């Protein structure tokens, strides 16, 4: 079934156009905020060929589609908003979305909405940095060559200009002007501002207001907090500026109000919070890496099921900013390897030919780094293999923690993320992945599972 057919079958089962309050997607999931959850036929949705699973989180319907999610999203968006539409009506909130959420769910939703769009740029940059390490460490290219210097610039750009990139994505999430968000991010990394801060000592002054001298390259929280504040400033200004003058006065007043608050309060506060969180994690990881790796590796799959893994992203970004490496991704890759091992063992053990095909495809996807098909389609469905995968993830995570394996960027794996881990500890990364894969597979064979009946799979074709 092609992507257009999948989108055509999804639309009526989620209640049609009128039931879509908000439509977006992440790397593997189509994310729909419906006007009414009761209008959704989850059972029929899960039976559509190409749909790998269904999940509901904080009033949001998540349809797991794997690698084809962006293509199905484009087709569904065309059906809902018309061909050539760039976005849906993002200013309208559905009744479900408008309901008061808990603070934790609200924060996770904001993090997911802000970081999901920027991940491709970070993945590409991180992989390139890993390739640079491989080229220089193997002696294929000299580290002082112009080629390496240019490639380093290309690989570093996404991290250096992260405040600008996050300024755009934060503005889109908080529904304010994305270009002013980018401009505010640009202020934080403007060379002249950085030079002024370095020459002024601990503080410089704007209208007599003390501004803490802080470097914001690769920072995360300062621009997010700033754009969140800006969204309220824009709304406030819109209440009294005449429509005919908004195009001129609203942008300049927004910058005049928001930029000083950013430089005096939100930037330093966000920088301190980010540094404390990342430093605390790195410190704990340095002391108890094995325990931290085992706990996170064992719980990673259930965390993915709930969607809470997006909560790790700010820590991962801050860790790369401070040290050049992220230590959470390696543990996540170990958990992915465990899912692959458990799923491949299910593939070998199941007597159901249709389910064997599902498990085989899910196992291959998990080896690449896309685990939702394995989790939702196989291990969570059968329950016992999920337990085996969690144990395998804990064992592999402990290995990653023992050797403190770091990634040069943020992405997924095992196979899709190999370049992130090129370097002196690459062999230990491979060992951690193998420990997870083999232990999860063996435990699945020992624990066993109740096989899927043929009629169940055949009705879902």
Cβ of 323: how many Cβ atoms within 10 Å? Answer: 13
Query: CB under 8 Å to 309, separation ≥6 — which residues?
Result: 300, 303, 332
Name which of 281, 267, 349 is nearest 313 in CA terms.
281
Question: What is the DSSP annotation of 239-270?
Answer: TTS-GGGHHHHHHHHHHHHHHHHIIIIIHHHH
Q: Contact at 8 Å (CB) between 359 and 343?
A: yes
Q: Contact at 8 Å (CB) between 176 and 231?
A: yes
**200 three-class SS:** coil
Q: Is 26 a catalytic residue?
A: yes
Q: How far apart are CA 457 and CA 461, in angstroms?
A: 7
Q: Can you tell me which residue has the tokens 């062999």? A: 427
Q: How far apart are CA 237 and CA 147, in angstroms?
A: 49
Rg (CA), the chain: 24
Q: How far apart are CA 15 and CA 37, in angstroms?
A: 9
Q: How far out from the chain centre does Cα 200 lie?
A: 38
Tokens of 127: 């992989």
Annotated catalytic residue within 26, 176, 390, 433: 26
Region label for 48, one of left (φ > 0), alpha (ψ between -120 and 50) or beta (otherwise):
beta
Q: Contact at 8 Å (CB) between 90 and 171?
A: no
Name which of 177, 189, 204 is nearest 264 in CA terms.
204
Burial of 105 (0-12, 13-18, 19+ CB in 10 A): middle
Q: How far apart are CA 31 and CA 55, in angstroms?
A: 10
Q: How far apart are CA 46 and CA 210, in angstroms?
A: 57
Catalytic positions are 26
């Amino acid at each position: 079934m092609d992507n257009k057919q999948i989108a055509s079958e999804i639309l009526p089962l989620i209640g049609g156009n009128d039931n879509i309050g908000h439509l977006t997607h992440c790397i593997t999931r189509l994310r729909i905020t419906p006007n009414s959850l009761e209008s959704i036929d989850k059972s029929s949705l899960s039976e559509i060929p190409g749909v790998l699973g269904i999940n509901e989180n904080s009033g949001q319907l998540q349809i797991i589609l794997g690698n084809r999610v962006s293509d199905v999203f484009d087709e569904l968006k065309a059906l809902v908003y018309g061909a050539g539409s760039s976005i849906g009506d993002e200013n309208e909130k559905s009744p479900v979305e408008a309901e008061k959420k808990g603070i934790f769910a609200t924060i996770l939703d904001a993090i997911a909405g802000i970081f999901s769009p920027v991940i491709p740029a970070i993945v590409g940059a991180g992989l390139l940095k890993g390739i640079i390490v491989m080229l220089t460490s193997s002696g294929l290219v000299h580290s002082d060559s112009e080629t390496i210097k240019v490639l380093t610039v290309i690989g570093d750009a996404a991290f250096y200009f992260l405040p600008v990139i996050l300024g755009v994505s934060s503005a889109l999430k908080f529904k304010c002007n994305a270009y002013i968000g980018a401009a505010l991010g640009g202020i934080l990394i403007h060379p002249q501002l950085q030079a002024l801060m370095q020459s002024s000592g601990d503080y410089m002054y704007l209208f007599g207001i003390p501004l803490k001298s802080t470097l914001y390259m690769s920072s995360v929280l300062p621009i997010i907090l700033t754009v969140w504040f800006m969204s309220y400033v824009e709304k406030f200004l819109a209440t009294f500026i005449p429509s005919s003058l908004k195009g001129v006065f609203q942008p300049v007043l927004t910058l005049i109000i928001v930029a000083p608050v950013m430089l005096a309060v939100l930037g330093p506060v966000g920088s301190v919070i980010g540094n404390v969180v990342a430093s605390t994690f790195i410190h704990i990881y340095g002391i108890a890496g094995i325990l931290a790796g085992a706990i996170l590796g064992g719980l990673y799959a259930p965390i993915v099921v709930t969607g809470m893994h997006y909560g790790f992203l700010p820590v991962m970004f801050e860790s790369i900013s401070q040290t050049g490496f992220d230590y959470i991704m390696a543990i996540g890759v170990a958990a992915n390897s465990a899912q692959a091992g458990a799923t491949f063992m299910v593939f070998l053990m199941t007597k159901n030919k249709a389910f064997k095909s599902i498990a085989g495809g899910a196992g291959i996807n998990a080896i690449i780094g896309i685990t939702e098909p394995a989790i939702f389609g196989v291990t969570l469905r059968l329950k016992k293999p999920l337990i085996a995968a969690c144990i395998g993830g804990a064992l592999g995570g402990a290995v990653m923690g023992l050797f403190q394996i770091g990634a040069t960027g943020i992405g997924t794996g095992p196979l899709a993320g190999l370049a992130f881990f090129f370097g002196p500890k690459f062999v230990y990364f491979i060992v951690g992945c193998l420990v997870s894969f083999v232990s999860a597979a063996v435990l699945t064979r020992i624990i066993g599972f109740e096989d899927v009946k043929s009629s169940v799979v055949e009705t879902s074709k």
